[in-house]
Amino acid sequence: MATSFHEHVRSLAMLHDLIEKDQVVGEKSAVEKLVNDIAEAAERIAADAERAVNEVNAEADAAAESLKAEARSAVSGIRKGAAQTAAELMQDVRQGGDEKTAVLAADKILKQAEQATIELNMQAQQSLRALAKQAAEATAIIQKEVDSAFGELAEVKEHAVKQVVGAAKETALKFPADAAPDDPETRAARQAAARVIKMLAQASESVNRSANAAAGRLQRAAFEAINSVKVASAEAASSVHDAIGQANERILTVTKTAVTTTVGDADKAAEFFDLESLRDKWNKRLY
């Protein structure tokens, strides 16, 4: 920071000397310095915004990929588990039961599993759409702040350039090209040149204030935007987890009914099928 400030002071001193020697070149250099200051401020804001947008997208993309993988794993587990459960049911019933009834019961398990995977996929897609929407809204909030910052800098630039150009023109009017080094006219010219530098310093300070204020607003907006995506990610994950849990419970209910129907009653069902063990098995498969 100190080095930057010293460079700024040296730059103003060099401009002061230049304006004394050549009003036209000095005025042009003063305006160019101001325009460069504004351009650098705009670049810093743009870089901050890009980092924030990248963080929003990275958060959303990571959450989306995690949810997709979890949904795929759950769907695979449901289908595999249902097929294995149906096969085990048929195997146990063959030991002494109505095979036709067992076939129908197994079919119900498989159909419920397929329906559960359809509903789970739909819920996952809905959650992913909600997450993508929130990410887009978060990015739009950041872009809005960037547009506002650029608009503010443009206004500051217009006002500041007018100040510097006006002071430079006054200097040109007071600057006698053939004045002696120590006469009153030369001293007046130096004072006029100093006024240009003062206007330039004030304009630069105004640019810095506007840029810092814009950067602060952008930082707050970026924090809120990123946090909103994190919340949306957590909500999407919770929604998918709930859908997996509901699929689990529905299949267990259908399986219990199927086993009871096939065997005859719940007490006899226990002889063929341990439903509590099945519940544990489903929990392992789905989670």
Provide the pLDDT for residue 276.
Answer: 53
Provide the pLDDT for residue 258.
Answer: 78
How much of the chain, in percent, has pLDDT values that exceed 90? 19
CA 138, 142, 145, 151 dihedral sign is negative
How far apart CA 118 and CA 75 sit, in angstroms, is: 9
> For 136-168, what is each residue's pLDDT tens digit?
999 999 999 899 888 888 888 887 777 777 766
Query: Can you list the pairs that 258-264 forms with residues at least 24 positions away whose Cβ atoms lie under 8 Å?
Result: 258/89, 258/105, 258/106, 258/108, 258/109, 259/89, 259/105, 261/101, 261/105, 262/89, 262/93, 262/97, 262/98, 262/101, 262/102, 262/105, 263/93, 263/97
> For 219-254, what is each residue's pLDDT tens digit?
899 899 999 999 999 999 999 888 888 888 888 888
Q: Region 58-67: what's the mean pLDDT? A: 92
Provide the pLDDT for residue 19.
Answer: 56
Of 133, 155, 151, the closest CA to residue 143 belongs to: 151
- Evaluate whether 128 touches 64 at the Cβ level (below 8 Å): yes
Phi–psi pair at 69, nearest 5 degrees = -65, -40
How far apart CA 283 and CA 276 sit, in angstroms, is: 11
Provide the pLDDT for residue 3.
Answer: 44
Average pLDDT, the chain: 76
Q: Please determine, for residue 273, whether its predicted confidence score (pLDDT) is greater than 80.
A: no
How far apart CA 260 and CA 264 sit, in angstroms, is: 5
| Structure-token pair, residue 156 | 């500051």
| Structure-token pair, residue 38 | 């504004």
> For 199-227, what is each residue's pLDDT tens digit?
777 777 777 788 888 888 888 998 999 99
Of 115, 138, 140, the closest CA to residue 61 belongs to: 138
Instruction: Determine what percent of the chain falls in helix, strand and coil, rounding each to the nearest 5.
Output: 95, 0, 5
Within its chain, how far is the Cα of 220 from the centroid?
Answer: 13
> For 27-57, what is each residue's pLDDT tens digit?
677 677 778 888 888 888 899 899 999 999 9
Burial (CB count within 10 angstroms: exposed 0-12, middle 13-18, buried 19+), residue 113: buried
